[in-house]
Amino acid sequence: MFIALAISLCALCSQAETPVALHGLLKVKGNRIVDQHGEEVQLRGMSMFWSQWKGKYYTPQVVKWLVEDWNINVVRVAIAVDQGGYATDKKEMDKAVTVIQAAIDLGIYERRC
């Protein structure tokens, strides 16, 4: 019973301590990125490939996998404009929204491009 309770509490603690929960709003100070407490933050992330060519990876499951297996705390969402991108298919933005919402749900930062 005690072990199950301890494991449950550890799981809750790790979920509550997402990068956004720990650091809040980030800003640049000199040549460093600092959090809301003025502490230096290291960003580790992935840039998604152009949405119109690798759109099948624009899923919450992929973002969760990157967070859990690659230990990322930021994701860049690359939405193409030309060559079958947003200029000709407005649904390309739906892919970005999916990844951005997954980042928000997982408590990591997102960069929209």
Domain map of the chain by residue range?
1-42, 44-113
Count Cα neighbours of 86 within 13 Å in the Cβ-side half-sphere. Answer: 11
What's residue 112's pLDDT? 59
Both tokens assigned to 73: 């705390």
Closest CA to 113 of 32, 25, 47: 47
Count Cα neighbours of 36 within 13 Å in the Cβ-side half-sphere. Answer: 7
Q: How many helices (H) and strands (E) does the chain have?
A: 5, 5
Helix (H, G, I), strand (E, B) or coil at 5: helix
What's residue 4's pLDDT? 37
- Predicted confidence (pLDDT) per residue in 51-67, tens digit: 888 889 999 999 999 99
